[in-house]
Amino acid sequence: MFFELITCFLLLIGAIFSFIAALGIVRMPDLFTRMQAAAKTGTLGVGCTILAVATFFGDIGVATRAGLVILFLFLTSPIAAHMIARAGYISGVALWSGSVTDEMRDQYDPVTHHLSSEPRKKSDNDSQMLGM
């Protein structure tokens, strides 16, 4: 009875988080905000649902496989989201008009596709001249 109640609780939590992820992917204004909603919230929702499977069966083999799925999801989902965001930025997807900061604008050259770890020379000189 107790484990069944925990199973129901985890199922509902997972479903609500997955629903919030889908709502975010429809309602958000931008590729990057959409990707963030889908990656974080969706991973948490599916992870809770698979944890519900582990508590429902109460078997060590099933729990191991469930832990494997959760570990795999938590490892791969940020990597996939990061790669899509990078590809979207490089292929020129526009940011939302209300975006506050764009830290890659100084370090990425959209013409030569060169990504440097420091700000580009032109803006560097500008800031030095401003400093003088």
Partner 1 sequence: MTLTVSFQIVPFTAMLTLNIFAIAMIFAMVRLLRGPSLADRVVALDLVAALAVGVIAVYAILTEQPMLLRAGIVVALVIFVGTVAFAMYLEKRAKP
Positions touching partner 1 (CB under 8 A) are 1, 4-5, 7-8, 11-12, 14-16, 18-19, 21-23, 25-26, 31, 34-35, 38-39, 42-43, 45-46, 49-50, 52-53, 56-57, 59, 61-62, 65-66, 68-69, 72-73, 76-77, 79-81, 83-84, 86-88, 90-93, 113
Query: How many CB atoms sit inside 10 A of residue 31's CB?
Result: 16
Looking at beta carbons only, is 83 or 104 nearer to partner 1? 83
Please state the closest distance from residue 65 (CB atom) to partner 1, in A: 5
Task: Determine the Cα–Cα distance for residues 37 and 30; give it in Å rounded to an integer.
Answer: 11
Q: How far is CA 118 from CA 52, 91, 105, 109, 122, in A?
A: 46, 21, 11, 12, 11
In this structure, are residues 36 and 81 in contact, taking their beta carbons and an 8 Å threshold? yes
CB of 120 to partner 1, least distance (A): 18
User: Which residue, 75 or 130, has its beta carbon nearer to partner 1?
Assistant: 75
Give 75's Cβ-side CA count (13 Å radius).
6
